[in-house]
């Protein structure tokens, strides 16, 4: 039985990475994927790259939360799979997704993939282990790990809030730790920010953003710190 899934990818000047992400999705045998790229006003070739790959392109005001929400509403499939443009699912992802959506108990759960950086730096492996711990123990997978859930569950949760940042944290907190399931597949994501800012400074900056969000600082203010 083929499962229909709407894949939603928010973009803003993502030409450097989008083609690889779309190619990684492929055409899985038991999954019928409809890919929606929700663009926030790119000034590069992002929209044309998406259309060439067969994706549907819609537009929204720039801001990941708004873009994700708009992209989700553009489709009708019973399942939603949210990705970042610079994160691509690794080998075996379709089988892991297929097993998750086939289980009736998962209609009221959400799933995420293991984070793997596109870097050979040993410091990347340490960050990956910390991310795995944070995801399992605190129930805080981030958007660069992907998020899979039924459309009905997504709507009951209220969907993505129109936040420019921390929209992923906001949603997974509403899902709750005990309804989040790690999948046995990798999400390979860009290490660009870590290589640019440093393998210690970048995680500290991310942690600071998380603490400030929990403390009630507005996402608009946090975005300036995030960089």
Q: Write the DSSP string, 131-162.
A: HHHHHHHH----GGG-EEEEHHHHHHHT----
Mean pLDDT of the 84-90 span: 97
Quote the pLDDT of residue 227: 64
What distance in Å separates the CA atoms of residue 213 and residue 211, rounded to the nearest whole number? 5
What distance in Å separates the CA atoms of residue 89 and residue 69, rounded to the nearest whole number? 21
Torsion of CA 88, 92, 98, 104, to 10 degrees: -100
Quote the pLDDT of residue 220: 84
Tens-place pLDDT, residues 32-72: 999 999 999 999 999 999 999 999 999 999 999 999 999 99
Tokens 């969907």 sit at which residue? 159
Task: Give the DSSP letter string of 193-211.
Answer: HHHHH-TTHHHHHHHHHHH
Mean pLDDT of the 115-133 span: 97
Mean pLDDT of the 22-27 span: 96
Q: Which two tokens stand for residue 208?
A: 């600071």
What distance in Å separates the CA atoms of residue 58 and residue 126, rounded to the nearest whole number? 37
Q: What is the DSSP letter of 54?
A: T
Assign 171 a pLDDT band (cuts: 50, 70, 90).
very high
Quote the pLDDT of residue 222: 86
Strands (E), 48-179: 56-59, 79-82, 87-89, 110-117, 147-150
Quote the pLDDT of residue 110: 98
Q: What are the structural domains of the chain? A: 3-226 (3.90.550.10)
The number of helix segments (H) and strand segments (E) in the chain equals 10, 8
What distance in Å separates the CA atoms of residue 122 and residue 2, rounded to the nearest whole number? 40
Tokens 């994706």 sit at which residue? 55
Quote the pLDDT of residue 217: 87
């Amino acid at each position: 039985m083929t499962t229909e899934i709407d894949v939603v990818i928010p973009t803003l000047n993502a030409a450097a990475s989008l083609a690889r992400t779309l190619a990684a999705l492929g055409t899985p045998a038991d999954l019928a994927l409809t890919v929606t790229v929700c663009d926030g006003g790119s000034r590069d070739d992002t929209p044309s790259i998406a259309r060439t790959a067969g994706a549907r392109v819609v537009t929204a005001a720039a801001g990941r939360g708004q873009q994700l929400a708009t992209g989700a509403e553009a489709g009708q499939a019973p399942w939603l799979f949210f990705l970042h443009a610079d994160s691509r699912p690794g080998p075996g992802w379709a089988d892991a997704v297929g097993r998750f959506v086939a289980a009736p108990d998962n209609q009221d759960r959400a799933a995420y993939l293991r984070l793997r950086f596109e870097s050979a730096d040993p410091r990347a492996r340490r960050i990956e282990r910390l991310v795995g711990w944070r995801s399992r123990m605190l129930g805080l997978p981030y958007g660069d790990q992907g998020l899979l859930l039924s459309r009905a569950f997504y709507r009951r949760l209220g969907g993505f809030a129109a936040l420019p940042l921390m929209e992923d944290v906001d949603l997974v907190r509403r899902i709750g730790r005990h309804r989040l399931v790690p999948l046995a597949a990798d999400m390979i994501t860009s290490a660009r920010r870590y290589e640019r800012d440093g393998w210690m400074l970048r995680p500290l900056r991310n942690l600071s953003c998380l603490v400030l969000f929990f403390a009630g600082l507005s996402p608009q203010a946090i975005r300036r710190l995030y960089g």
